[in-house]
Chain A
Amino acid sequence: MDRVPLERKVLSENDRIAAGLRARFQDHGVLCLNIISSPGSGKTSLLERTLESLPKHDRVAVLTGDIQTENDADRLKRFHFPVKQITTGGTCHLDARMIERHLEDWKLEDLDLLFIENVGNLVCPSSYDLGEAAKVVVLSVTEGEDKPLKYPSIFFKSDLMVLNKIDLLPYVPFDMTAAAENARKVHPGMEIVKTSCLTGNGLHEWMMWLEERRRAHKAVVEAVG
């Protein structure tokens, strides 16, 4: 019996494609954000409010993933930015190959910002690198403040937590301080913004975070290029 050392990542093929995407995003100065949450936490609503408040000439596009239906793309297309639906047909996450395929007929040189709205799922998307510059996790106040402890992987890997649906705080027993503490237990120093996509509360902080990331990304791209 011989033991052959393999010493490589299980998802090395996905990671290889993701690295290629990351290099292309970098070359074209595109900031790519991978947005992840449970189903129904408000990823699409957050993107609706975001697209609504961006200037019409902004170079922004969205890839939105679901297991079935074009519903999310239909919601997001109203804002006249390029939007494409990825229907996975059963797969519970997006992988790098799906992103590569759906970017084929878009010119990256025409974009500055690409949102990827992942399939609603707090577990599986965390394992698949899509070439993004950062992951953003959305947690809504109807879900329970212990979510970061129950699903640590995605909170560990995300740069920002968006605590959404804060307009419902008077009606649900959700402890905001504990939620923030739990997130920072798993990921010390994690950035957090609190939003309501219904009332617009806190969206300014989210847009400020986005603007800051775009500015920082541009500075890095210019320094390298």
Chain B
Amino acid sequence: MHEMGIANSVLEAVRTEMGLHPGMYPCKVGVRLGEMEAIDPEALRFCFEAMIQETDLASLELGIEVCPRRHRCQVCEREFIVRDYDCSCPQCSSLATLCISGNQLELAYLEVEEYGSSTVGAKSTQ
């Protein structure tokens, strides 16, 4: 439900960043969604596309990387992906493990192109 707010924050960040790149236009913005963040990637994409329609950012593409929940064992330092909520260390069975990834909601990158290049207005194929 809050994907619209998230999409809006992404677009605000893109506009702010573009102020630093005169003569360029944005092609693609990349975000990282942790699986613990309760953001539905398809709902986010739907909101994002609805919000850019008929605006100057209409050709902007959204790249989404979904990040699984990763923990690090505080005893043996092993890093592992948590499956089926099992947070115990697969190496030493310790329950003293800390979440190191999977709870992020981050802007990763922005791809920009110079105005006047051949791909102006066209969707990036990446």
Contact = CB atoms under 8 A, between A and B. Distances in A.
Contacts of B99: 156
Interface in A150-187: 151-154, 156-157, 185-186
A9 B109 contact: no
Given A123-B38, A126-B38, A11 B105 contact: yes
A53 interface: no
Interface string B17-29: 1000100100101
Q: Is the interface of B mostly helix, strand, loop or mixed?
A: mixed
Contacts of A127: 2, 6, 37-39, 105
Interface in B27-47: 27, 29-31, 36-39
Interface residues of A, number: 34
Contact of B110 (A3, A91, A124): A3
Interface residues of B, number: 35
A210 interface: no
Given A10-B13, A10-B31, A127-B38, A4 B107 contact: no
Contacts of B107: 6-10
B85 A151 contact: no
Given A123-B1, A127-B39, A10 B112 contact: no
Interface of A: 1-14, 91-93, 95, 121, 123-124, 126-128, 149, 151-154, 156-157, 185-186, 188
Q: Which 4 A-B pairs have CB atoms at the shortest separation, nearest pair first?
A: A124-B2, A6-B107, A153-B38, A185-B85
